[in-house]
Homo-oligomer: A and B are copies of this chain.
Amino acid sequence: MKFVEEKILKEGHVIGEDILKVDSFVNHRIDTKFVSDISKAFAEEFKDMGINKVVTIETSGIVYAAFTAVELGYLPLVFAKKSKSKTVDESNIYKTEIKSFTRNTVSEVTIDKRFLSPEDRILLVDDFLAEGNAALGLIDLCEQAGAKVLGFATVIDKAFQGGRKILQDKGIKLVSGASIKKFENGKVVF
């Protein structure tokens, strides 16, 4: 999407070999007009697929997922949780592990069993797609429930890190605001 590429070129900063810092509009300070615009574009791409639930993972993806869910007709949104609060009953959760590229950690990620079902036709939404680890974790949680993951929408897809190919090989429709081929001399190449 042209407006996403332009926004990244204007406000994003490449750090080192493989990090794109977009904290001024994507994942710390959030440009709510940008969120609204990209979510409408996501919804347009998935509106005819019979999606009935949107799933994401805390934290940064939640805003994009929520606005996309509204645009798809006020669908329910479920976000996978990275840590356990004391109000969670251990026996009633789907669990998986996700490696975070940016944080260099492995997190246990959970969704309450009440919130996924075999009838679900799911759109996953996140802010970044990189190596695909978060995506694979969310797919695992959905599949444990017998739910079907039909699509993945992401603001920024770092195609060179492999996540894009993993999703396409699984037959999941991938829509990204901007797909990055590589970083070259500190610049983004789409």
A114 at interface by CB-CB < 8 Å: yes
The CA of A35 and the CA of B86, in the complex, are separated in Å by: 24
The CA of A16 and the CA of B53, in the complex, are separated in Å by: 31
Taken together, the copies of this chain in the complex come to: 2
Q: How far is the CB of A112 from chain B (nearest CB, A)?
A: 6
A31 at interface by CB-CB < 8 Å: yes
A46 at interface by CB-CB < 8 Å: no
A160 at interface by CB-CB < 8 Å: no
- Interface hit among A1-9, A18-26, A143-151, A168-176: A18-26
Contacts of A15 in B (CB 8 A): 87
CB pair B74–A36 under 8 Å, yes or no, is: yes
The CA of A32 and the CA of B92, in the complex, are separated in Å by: 23
Residues of A within 8 A of B (CB): 15, 19, 21, 23-24, 28-33, 35-36, 58-59, 62-63, 66-67, 69-70, 74-79, 81, 83, 85-87, 102-104, 111-112, 114-115
Instruction: A29-B115, A58-B58, A63-B66 given; name 12 further pairs at CB < 8 Å.
Output: A28-B111, A29-B112, A30-B66, A30-B69, A30-B77, A31-B76, A33-B70, A36-B74, A59-B62, A62-B63, A66-B67, A86-B103
Which 8 pairs from chain A and chain B are nearest by CB?
Answer: A33-B74, A30-B77, A58-B59, A29-B115, A63-B66, A32-B69, A29-B78, A32-B70
A sample of 9 inter-chain contacts (CB < 8 A) reads A23-B112, A28-B79, A30-B77, A30-B79, A31-B76, A32-B77, A58-B59, A86-B102, A86-B104
